[in-house]
Structures are given as C-alpha cells and as structure tokens.
C-alpha cells in the first residue's frame, strides 16, 4: 500500500428486490446482482475490474437485499481478490447517492482519497485506472464515465454535454423527454470525499423545505422532489444536474463496450460481451474443446467444471453452462444461458434462450427466439423447473416457474 492519501475505496450499488421487477422471472430465484453472466455473478464483473485500481483498500456492496443473500459470495470473492468485499444493508432505499451517504463513516474509515461508485446493472470493460488518472488531471470533485449511444436510445439514460477541450460537465438531464445529447451517463463514477458534503447539502435543503409551512408555487411545480424524504438522494437528478457547469464534475469517455442490464434479454447480450472479454482477461475460463471427450465448441463458451456435456453435442457461440447441467448427445446450443441443474436431452436445440434452474428440455425439443435483445419476447426465458416435453417447440416466449409444456407455444407469456 502506498501513502495514506492514495487509498481508494470502491462502492457498488446493488439495489434491492423491489428494483428487480423488470428482471422477472429470473429475479424470482436469485437477487439480480448474482445472476450469472458468462458464468460469473453480474456483480463479479465490476468487482474484478476494481482489482486493477492501484491501492484499493475495500469494496463495499450497498443494497437492501438480505445480508444472507450475499454472505457466501462476498466471503469467496474477498479471499479470491485478496481485498475485503463487504455487503452493507440499507434499512430502506435511500436512492443512489443517499445509500452511499448512509454509510459514509464506514467508507471513510480507510481515509480514502478517492471513492469509485458503480451501478451494478451495467456491463462494461470498466476502465477504472484510466478514469482515476483522468480524474486526477481534471482536479474536480467527480468524474463520470460516459459513452456515445444512438440518438434514438439516449433518452433511456442521463444525457449530458461536456466541454470538448476541458471535459468539464456543462449540462446534465436525467432521461429527458426531448433530445439533449447522444453522450450518456454510464453509471460509473469517481469522487473525492467532498461528494459527502454535496449530498449532505441536498439532504439539508430537503429538511428545510419540509419545515416550510407553506409550499411555494415553485415547489408546487416540482412534483418529483416535493415528497421525497430528506435522506433519499438521487445521484443523477439531485447531485449531477445542479453541479453541472460549476467546474466540479468532469467526464471520461469510453470507446469500449457498455450496456445496461435491465431485462433478462439484455443479460444474454451482456453474457456474450463478457465472454468475448475473457479472451483477453481470463482465457482459462473459456472452453477450448481440446479434450478427447470434449463436445465441439464454436466461439466463446463457458462450461462449469461440474457440468456434463456429451461429446457429440455442439455448443456455441455465446453459451454459458452453469453447475451440474447435463447436455445430451446431439444437442445443439447457440446463444444461451443454461442455469444450474438443467437437463437438455438428446438432439434438443436451444437458441437465443435462458433456461432456468433445474428445467428439463426433452428429446428433439426446440427452445428458441429471434435474438432481438431489445424486444420483449426476443429471447425465450424459462423460469425455474420448467419441463419442455419431447419434441415440443417453444418460440419467442416467457414461461414462469414450474410449468410443464406438452404442446408448442409461440409469442406467449405463460403465467
């Protein structure tokens, strides 16, 4: 560890069960941050990226899931990374900045000079050391990772305008109705500890307003903030918007991949991006098909060591097979996530699909979709313990847990 001033702490906001509704039916079984992408829990990818930060003292996960949900994972990743990774449970949602503020005393225990703050539900190469260097050059309170997206999709995110020479953040609007910019907030930040003073300022303003006996006409026009509790502070609307143009915030643009993971369909796309990244960062995690009894492997594939794949199966590209799955003779798997304990019987085909825990796909059955990640039914999703009987065809559908399908379905959500 270098001099004390250099210590860095990373905080990953993991949210809680009520925030995971768009991720159903997969979030019925597992907290969304632990859902496997490329065979590793979603939160594992930002955590491993933190390993590259010089003088990293701690990683905190802040959320309102139960502590026991994360206990096993945090203890195993702490020993793997050799950096303590600790889960901190909020008693209620405090918003993305309020959650951070809630644990300020703990976070400041290591006297960090810098604090990384990462959303858990984004998929990125997380260029954190590069951001830290840029942040030190800019000399502000915070630096935001930004990416260019298509003008049509920009309004799903925080849109921003920055000075092309100094990189200062000049203007910030969260999910605006009219187009502002195709540069958006990636949900990855670095701050100096002064961020706590900024959050405290918003919280105090709220308290003062709540104490005002009459609501001003200006307040009445702000339905967004009027009823928020003083300890609920959103990083984007409450901190970034008002501080834009005040020489406190800067941007660092990534040209590398970046996606948001709000839906099960997007998790399949992000799994493929992380598998591709493994070629450079963790090639040992990719199946190579070299063994005498290995199945044919095409492109990027992850197979858990406990899974059993028949040598005549053909797997890939973009396939992740979790623990204890069994893949039968002649099965064909393309672009899919096969979760723990799934059985895929002989000659079944799975394309653009996520097959839930302990599900079973019968002989010659087909489970497939168009592969349009942004469409509601573009990826077929089977919840836990779904049985697709022999020769049944399931196309562009979502099937909730514990169903048995003995006839074909297409473009359906089966509750």
Q: Could you list the residues that contact ligand GDD (CB under 6 A)?
A: 13-15, 19, 62-64, 90, 93-96, 99, 119-122, 157-158, 174, 184-187, 236, 260
Check whether the bond before 354 is cis (ω within 30° of 0).
no
CB of 17 to ligand GDD, least distance (A): 11
Reading the block at residue 224, the tokens are: 């967004």
DSSP annotation of 377 reads T
CB of 1 to ligand GDD, least distance (A): 28
User: Please, which residue, 60 or 138, has the CB nearer to ligand GDD?
Assistant: 60
What are the phi and psi torsion angles at 185 (to 5°)?
A: -75, 125
CB of 375 to ligand GDD, least distance (A): 20
Reading the block at residue 201, the tokens are: 């300022």
User: Please, which residue, 111 or 179, has the CB nearer to ligand GDD?
Assistant: 179
User: Please, which residue, 31 or 328, has the CB nearer to ligand GDD?
Assistant: 31
Reading the block at residue 403, the tokens are: 């169903």
Please give the Cα distance from 96 to 299 (Å, whole number).
Answer: 37
Number of H helices and E strands in the chain, helices first, is 10, 31
CB of 66 to ligand GDD, least distance (A): 13
User: Please, which residue, 122 or 337, has the CB nearer to ligand GDD?
Assistant: 122
CB of 60 to ligand GDD, least distance (A): 10
Residue with tokens 């000075």: 163
**Considering just the CA atoms, what is the radius of gyration of the chain in Å?**
23
User: Please, which residue, 41 or 341, has the CB nearer to ligand GDD?
Assistant: 41
Reading the block at residue 4, the tokens are: 């004390």
Cα(first)–Cα(last) distance of the chain, in Å? Answer: 54
HSE-up of residue 253 (Cα within 13 Å, Cβ side): 17
User: Please, which residue, 20 or 328, has the CB nearer to ligand GDD?
Assistant: 20
Strand, coil or helix: what is 209? helix
CB of 185 to ligand GDD, least distance (A): 4
Please give the Cα distance from 93 to 288 (Å, whole number).
Answer: 44
CB of 118 to ligand GDD, least distance (A): 8
In degrees, to the nearest 5, what angle opens at C-alpha 240 toward C-alphas 180 and 160? 20
User: Please, which residue, 122 or 251, has the CB nearer to ligand GDD?
Assistant: 122
Q: For residue 127, give the nearest of 217, 49, 10, 24 by alpha carbon.
A: 49
Reading the block at residue 116, the tokens are: 């990384």
User: Please, which residue, 16 or 383, has the CB nearer to ligand GDD?
Assistant: 16
Please give the Cα distance from 139 to 124 (Å, whole number).
Answer: 25
CB of 330 to ligand GDD, least distance (A): 41
User: Please, which residue, 186 or 354, has the CB nearer to ligand GDD?
Assistant: 186
Please give the Cα distance from 289 to 297 (Å, whole number).
Answer: 5
CB of 236 to ligand GDD, least distance (A): 4
């Amino acid at each position: 560890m270098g001099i004390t001033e250099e210590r860095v702490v990373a905080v990953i906001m993991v949210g809680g069960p009520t925030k995971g509704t768009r991720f159903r039916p997969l979030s019925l079984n597992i907290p969304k941050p632990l859902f496997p992408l490329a065979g590793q829990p979603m939160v594992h990818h930002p955590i491993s990226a933190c390993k590259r930060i010089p003088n990293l003292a701690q990683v905190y996960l802040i959320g309102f899931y139960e502590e026991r949900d994360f206990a096993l994972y945090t203890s195993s990743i702490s020993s793997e990374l050799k950096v303590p990774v600790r889960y901190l449970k909020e008693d209620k949602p405090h918003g993305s900045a309020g959650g951070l503020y809630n644990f300020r005393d703990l976070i400041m225990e290591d006297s960090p000079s810098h604090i990384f703050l990462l959303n858990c539900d984004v998929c990125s190469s997380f260029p954190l050391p590069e951001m830290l260097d840029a942040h030190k050059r800019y000399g502000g309170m915070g630096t935001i990772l930004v990416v260019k997206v298509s003008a049509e999709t920009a309004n799903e995110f925080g849109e921003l305008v920055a000075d092309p020479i100094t990189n200062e953040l000049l203007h910030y609007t969260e999910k605006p109705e009219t187009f502002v910019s195709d540069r958006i907030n990636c949900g990855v930040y670095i701050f100096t500890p002064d961020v706590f003073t900024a959050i405290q300022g918003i919280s105090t303003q709220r308290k003062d307003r709540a104490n005002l006996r009459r609501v001003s006409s200006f307040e009445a026009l702000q339905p967004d903030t009027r009823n928020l509790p003083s300890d609920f502070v959103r990083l984007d609307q409450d901190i970034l918007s008002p501080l834009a143009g005040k020489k406190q915030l800067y941007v660092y643009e990534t040209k590398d991949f970046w996606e948001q993971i709000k839906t099960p369909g997007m998790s399949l796309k992000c799994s493929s991006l992380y598998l591709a990244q493994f070629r450079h960062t963790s090639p040992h995690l990719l199946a190579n098909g070299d063994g005498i009894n290995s199945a044919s492997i095409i492109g990027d594939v992850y197979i858990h060591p406990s899974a059993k794949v028949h040598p005549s199966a053909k797997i890939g590209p973009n396939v992740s097979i979790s623990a204890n799955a069994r893949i039968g003779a002649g099965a064909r798997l393309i672009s899919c996530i096969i979760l723990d304990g799934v059985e895929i019987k002989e000659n079944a085909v799975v394309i653009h699909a996520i097959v839930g825990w302990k599900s079973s796909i019968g002989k010659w059955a087909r489970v497939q979709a168009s592969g349009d990640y942004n469409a509601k039914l573009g990826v077929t999703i089977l919840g836990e313990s779904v049985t697709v009987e022999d020769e049944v065809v399931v196309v562009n559908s979502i099937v909730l847990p514990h169903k048995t399908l003995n006839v074909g379905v297409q473009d359906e959500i089966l509750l």
